[in-house]
Amino acid sequence: MARKKIIAGNWKMNMTPSQAVKLVEELAPLVKNDEVDVVYCVPAIDIVPVVEAVKGSNVQVGAENMYFEESGAYTGEISAAMLVDAGVKYVIIGHSERRDYFKEDDALLNKKVKKAIEAGLVPILCCGESLEQREMGVTMDWIRFQIKSDLVGVTADQVKDIVIAYEPIWAIGTGKTATTEQAEEVCKGIRECIAEMYDQATADAVRIQYGGSVNAGNAAELFAQPNIDGGLVGGASLKADFGKIVCY
């Protein structure tokens, strides 16, 4: 069975609640495409108004982060249960900005992945290499390490529902995009890694996104690749271009 494409916007730290509702309303007629899953991953403070604003549409709402504890003295954090209760379906875990700026390591991300699954959320698990790692020729070694570490203790049935997002760090917000061949090569390598960890049927079920300066001009070519099942879109998800990406 063919995998359904999933195109998610990662808003990062942009959009106040009122701006978020306005953007969602503007994008609504542009992102109508029942052939793909469309997700807005929004800042925590925007979740409740955006969930309300997308009701009755084809859009699902995701969070940009969460903590792995159920509740307690974790000032400033948000639990999986809070996200579920607010109407969230997806959650980004392990984005390179979280790994870099906030020093989130793979042991922590593994706990987040397992807690998200337990709560009924779909993790969008990010992986990717730096420019230095690519130039050293260790791209797949590094990404395999991330995937294997982040999925410790996760079963094959659970992995089938996870979304993996490959984002070369050197292409995030830089305007640089991995070539179609580079993107497909790594996404294929990720699928092969999942097959080794579990089995081929599990690997064939997992949806793998490409992220890293995806735009209206390159989306169709990227998404046509056999192992690229959509995109995790940054800056372009905050404007009308997102509609062109969703309806590629």
- Going residue by residue through the chain (248 aa), what tens digit of pLDDT does each one get? 689 999 999 999 999 999 999 999 999 999 999 999 999 999 999 999 999 999 999 999 999 999 999 999 999 999 999 999 999 999 999 999 999 999 999 999 999 999 999 999 999 999 999 989 998 999 999 999 999 999 999 999 999 999 999 999 988 777 777 899 999 999 999 999 999 999 999 999 999 999 988 899 999 999 999 999 999 999 999 998 899 999 99
Q: What confidence tens digit (pLDDT) does each residue in 64-121 have?
A: 999 999 999 999 999 999 999 999 999 999 999 999 999 999 999 999 999 999 999 9
Q: Catalytic residue among 64, 95, 129, 184, which?
A: 95
Among 100, 99, 82, which residue's Cα sits nearest to residue 91? 82
> Is 167 tagged catalytic?
yes
H-helix or E-strand spanning residue 216: none
> Is 95 tagged catalytic?
yes
Q: Catalytic residue among 64, 97, 167, 184, which?
A: 167
Q: What is the per-residue pLDDT for 176?
A: 73
| 241 half-sphere exposure, CB direction, 13 A CA radius | 16
CATH entry 3.30.70.580 includes domain 5-246: no
pTM: 0.95
Taking CA atoms, 150 is separated from 37, 106, 145, in Å, by 24, 6, 8
Angle at 131 between CA 235 and CA 198, to 5 degrees: 85
Residue extents of the structural domains in the chain: 5-246
Q: What is the per-residue pLDDT for 69?
A: 97
Distance CA 219, CA 231 (A): 8
* DSSP assigned state of 11: -
* CB of 106 closer than 8 Å to CB of 138: no
User: How is residue 34 written in tokens?
Assistant: 């029942």
Number of helices (H), then strands (E), belonging to the chain: the values are: 12, 8
